[in-house]
Amino acid sequence: MSGDDDRRSARHQRDAGDPGPRGNRIRPSRDGVRPSRWMELLLRAVLTADETEHLLGDLREEHAARACRLGRRAAEREYRRDVRELLASRLRARGGYATDALRRQLRHGFRALARRPVFTVATVSTLAVGLGGAATIAGLARSVLRPLPFPESDRLVAVRETLDGTETPVAPANYLDWRRELASFDGGLAAHRPVSTSLTVDGTAFRARIAVVSGNYFNVLGVDLALGRGFDPSLDTAFPERHAIVSHRTWTDRFGSDPGILGRTFLVEDQQYQIVGVAPDGLASPEPGLVAWLRSPTEAPEIRALGDRVPTLRDAWYFAVVGRLVPSATLEGAREELAGLASRLERLHPDTNERRGALLRPLLDETTGDFRPILTSLAAAVLLLLMASAVNMTHLAYSRWADTAGERAVRVALGAGRAAVVGPVVVEGAILGLAGALAGYGLAHAALAHGVSAFPDVVPRAAEVTLGAAAVIAVVSVGMGLGIGISLVAFGVAGGHGAAGRRVAVRGRGLAVRHRGAVARRLGAAERIGGWRGQGLIAAQTAAAIALLASAALLGRSLWSLARVDLGFDVKRVATVRIAQPDARLRSYAERIAAYEDLRARVTRLPGIGEVAFAARSPLTMGLQAGLRVEGWERPDPPGNVSWAPVHHDHFRALGIPLVAGRLFGPSDRADAAHVAVVNEALARSVFPGGDPVGRVVTIGLDGHDRPLTIVGVVGDTRTRGPAAPPGPVLFRPITQTDRFSADAVLLIARTGPVGATDGGGPTERAAGQTRSVGQASPTGWPAPAHRAEPSDLARIQETLRAARPDMPVYDAALGVDLAGAFGRSQASLLGIVGVFALATTLLGAVGVYGVAAHATRRRRREIGVRMALGADGRRVLGTIVGRGLARAALGIPFGVLASLAVGRGLRSLLVGVRPYDPAVLASVCGIVLLVTACALFVPAREAARTDPADATRAD
């Protein structure tokens, strides 16, 4: 600032119309003209009391003088400028001293750490792994368990039916009764069923996922549409017209964001739907990526072929139900009401509803499902890891401060103050903490970005997993807190600053710290504490390493088992694609089937392709479920429900599913022939235990129980409920006879290799008629079978299909191994995450063990030297050190085993072919950890064993 400024502003003031000195009637009072009180308050707040007094006096004096000279307003402005400038220069000066001191401390800190690279790297990486693990799991938990993106989402619940306590989807008639009768729900219950179907927009046909929903679906969730009024939410509306709400994405991509989209139409298969709304951007309910939501004309999500019978069906279970509790209702109250209604329905409809109940839980629980126990066990494992990190750091820090205790004592003796001695401890701790925190955050970020999001099927809502700004703050503050805290604790244990009440005596190079009470307390006492801690450290780290390695081993073992599970069909020789018929030109069911049959025949003629078939669903999925009734049924309990699978007659041969009894379907099982069925072994076992199902007559709910079917054969099971669960009961029907199946799309299954060929005795052998036990060997590890399906086979098949019928979409091409491969993905991705932590913990454990042993050995150097001078040989010294260390590590084994059992229980839903308490796994994990510990002990032990007795005894 210069005088120029001053004058300029004064002039400016006059130009701006200030009346100037004469305009202000300054009446100098006893205390002059008062400047603004605020500025004085500000000054008082920033400056110390004895500074303030004369400064405020000076300022007021100047203000009064300026008020006379320049006018009151200009004076006020000048006054403010003065205050601002004064504050700035004061703060600069004060900050300057503080910054200088801080900078000096930081420089010292960095130098001290740079002089100890091993200590620094070990500490930072220890902390980084611990914090990284914790942040990863916390990020996962936060993302997965946070509220659903709907208003008052805590009031949203999911309702399921149960059969003997096992969850099933909901049947239409039961849903409609619930919706009419239950009072706990706001706007009634809403039903939904996502399906794949063919859509035609402006003449372009494509395959897409849609959801068939009840009219009140959007109202129940509380979703506001981007456009349009949506469905009529009332129940029992007679409405023949078909309404649809399209997704925001579909609106922009397929309809060019047409503002006049409402009222436009598109085709779903062969039926026309009118658009009554556009969903808000990003709506991912009931699943992400849906193209449209259709209102079902039957009020319950329909299966079209079932037509008007849908509202009366009580034994076809195929959709999910959500509801919004009224504010006065509690979860318990709603459960009671639901249970009461379910038991009333059970009495009213014993045929279909016997042993059927209903289950209600928060929608968030439904969405996060099985992941909660996994999350809990991961959190426990990571907590263990963080604890191990902290213990490890404590030890590292202890050894760092114990090493320099002598130097510190000298400084204290020479008059260094408390602050000068403790300052570096805090600063070093802070530097280490910050570095560890940043590295840990990086690890967590990488783990979440690359590890978790890549596997949406293990982590529900995985796409939404992120670390927020709060996580950065949390990680950094925990890291710095740990860094400083541990540094101080270790410093205290290592002798502290040796001031206040202690007399520090420096005798030559020896050192003694005496308490005032004259009871000598050598630093050794502190070292004994350190030693004790060291023991605890080794045990704790052993425990953490065992727990994490055990989880990794269990997951690894499960993956291995999964690869060897017999899925029940010839995985290696199968190629599959889906084909759809989007158009309405082929009206009749027979014509649709004929179109598929034509394509099937074309594929069969390809060289290198054996049997080809088509079916409603893949051999690894459950498909629709329906109630089964058996003629001449005498047992009191109903036969239960079964999966229903329309298949081509060559289906079993194409998949290599063996015939167990009776016959397979043949070309003679035409639409006009007697209706027949083939059942799988699981159905035969559960419905006809000890009896022969062949020849029995049954009906199923989806067919309305009006068509008797004669069971003609029994085939082997495929893993319809996943690789780990026992196969469910399946009833197959010739696809020619199932005209109530919409047949809008089928799975084409081709078997590579010549017709009827087998691989000649390999483990993949599937000779028809041969029965196998579950869990029998799989392809892995065996010589590749002869006619293995290759991606090129898939390409040829797709090409043939497209050339023959360009109007029929071909999609979802997959080899049998791809279908099977999806099974291990959850385990594989979790193994990736847990495996990294397990490895890190084991390494950290090894570093910690090494540190403790090295430190202890160094302390006992003289003792070892004396022993060796007295004739102990090196090998014996080595053995003692390793043995003692191992004994300490062994202390951690019981804790580790207990922790592994807990973690294993949490992972149970992912374990296949191995129990959480598998003794072989636990034993080998303990063995590995002890082996690593022994290796870590070996290094310092060997050094000790090479001690030169003369050197050691001369040393201090």
Q: Which residues bind another protein (CB under 8 A)?
A: 1-3, 5-6, 30-32, 34, 50, 53-62, 64-65, 81-82, 85-90, 93
Q: What is the DSSP string of 288-329?
A: TT--EEEE-TTSS---GGGGGGGGG-SSEE-BEEEEEB-TT-
- Which bin fits 513, alpha (ψ -120 to 50), beta or left (φ > 0)? beta
- Closest CB to another protein among residues 96, 151: 96
Handedness of CA 406, 410, 411, 416 (dihedral sign): positive
- Closest CB to another protein among residues 94, 344: 94
- Closest CB to another protein among residues 3, 632: 3
Q: How far is the CB of 419 from another protein (least distance, A)?
A: 21
For residues 567 and 798, the answer to whether their CB atoms sit within 8 Å is: no
- Closest CB to another protein among residues 57, 667: 57
- Closest CB to another protein among residues 55, 339: 55
- Closest CB to another protein among residues 14, 248: 14
Closest listed residue to residue 826, CA positions, set 907, 896, 752, 747: 907
Q: How far is the CB of 77 from another protein (least distance, A)?
A: 14
Q: How far is the CB of 104 from another protein (least distance, A)?
A: 19
Q: How far is the CB of 541 from another protein (least distance, A)?
A: 54
* Per-residue tokens: 786: 């002869």
Q: Which residues partner with 299 through β-bridges?
A: none
Q: How far is the CB of 92 from another protein (least distance, A)?
A: 8
Q: How far is the CB of 534 from another protein (least distance, A)?
A: 50
Q: How far is the CB of 64 from another protein (least distance, A)?
A: 7
- Can you tell me the distance from the alpha carbon of 612 to that of 750, in angstroms, rounded to the nearest whole number? 4
Q: How far is the CB of 83 from another protein (least distance, A)?
A: 9
HSE-up (13 A, CA, CB side) for residue 395: 30
- Closest CB to another protein among residues 64, 276: 64
Q: How far is the CB of 34 from another protein (least distance, A)?
A: 7
Is the previous residue joined to 286 through a cis bond, with omega within 30 degrees of 0? yes
The set of residues, in sequence order, having a beta carbon less than 8 Å from that of 111 and lying 6+ positions away, is none
Q: How far is the CB of 31 from another protein (least distance, A)?
A: 5
For residues 837 and 131, the answer to whether their CB atoms sit within 8 Å is: no
Q: How far is the CB of 62 from another protein (least distance, A)?
A: 5
Residue at 128: amino acid letter: A
- Closest CB to another protein among residues 66, 740: 66
Handedness of CA 840, 845, 848, 853 (dihedral sign): negative
Most distant CA atoms of the chain, gap in Å: 121
> What Rg, from alpha-carbon coordinates, does the chain have?
39
- Closest CB to another protein among residues 31, 308: 31
Q: Which helix (H) or strand (E) holds 713?
A: strand 709-715
Q: Which helix (H) or strand (E) holds 613?
A: strand 609-615
- Can you tell me the distance from the alpha carbon of 21 to that of 71, in angstroms, rounded to the nearest whole number? 5
- Give CA angle at 614 (608, 620), nearest 5°: 100
* Per-residue tokens: 75: 């004076």
- Give CA angle at 451 (446, 455), nearest 5°: 145
Distance of CA 781 to the CA centre of its chain: 31
- Closest CB to another protein among residues 31, 672: 31
Closest listed residue to residue 885, CA positions, set 924, 927, 940: 940
Residue indicated by tokens 């792994």: 129
- Closest CB to another protein among residues 56, 434: 56
Q: How far is residue 767 from each of residues 723, 762, 786, 838, measured CA to CA in Å?
A: 22, 11, 15, 44
Q: What is the DSSP string of 829-849?
A: HHHHHHHHHHHHHHHHHHHHH
- Closest CB to another protein among residues 58, 287: 58
For residues 785 and 779, the answer to whether their CB atoms sit within 8 Å is: yes
- Closest CB to another protein among residues 68, 413: 68
Backbone angles phi, psi at 571, to 5 degrees: -50, -40
Q: How far is the CB of 107 from another protein (least distance, A)?
A: 24
Q: How far is the CB of 61 from another protein (least distance, A)?
A: 5
* Per-residue tokens: 760: 């000649």
- Closest CB to another protein among residues 1, 114: 1
For residues 719 and 728, the answer to whether their CB atoms sit within 8 Å is: no
- Closest CB to another protein among residues 32, 233: 32
Q: How far is residue 65 from each of residues 13, 62, 233, 646, measured CA to CA in Å?
A: 17, 5, 79, 102
Q: How far is the CB of 63 from another protein (least distance, A)?
A: 10
- Give CA angle at 415 (410, 419), nearest 5°: 100
Q: How far is the CB of 57 from another protein (least distance, A)?
A: 3
For residues 276 and 233, the answer to whether their CB atoms sit within 8 Å is: no
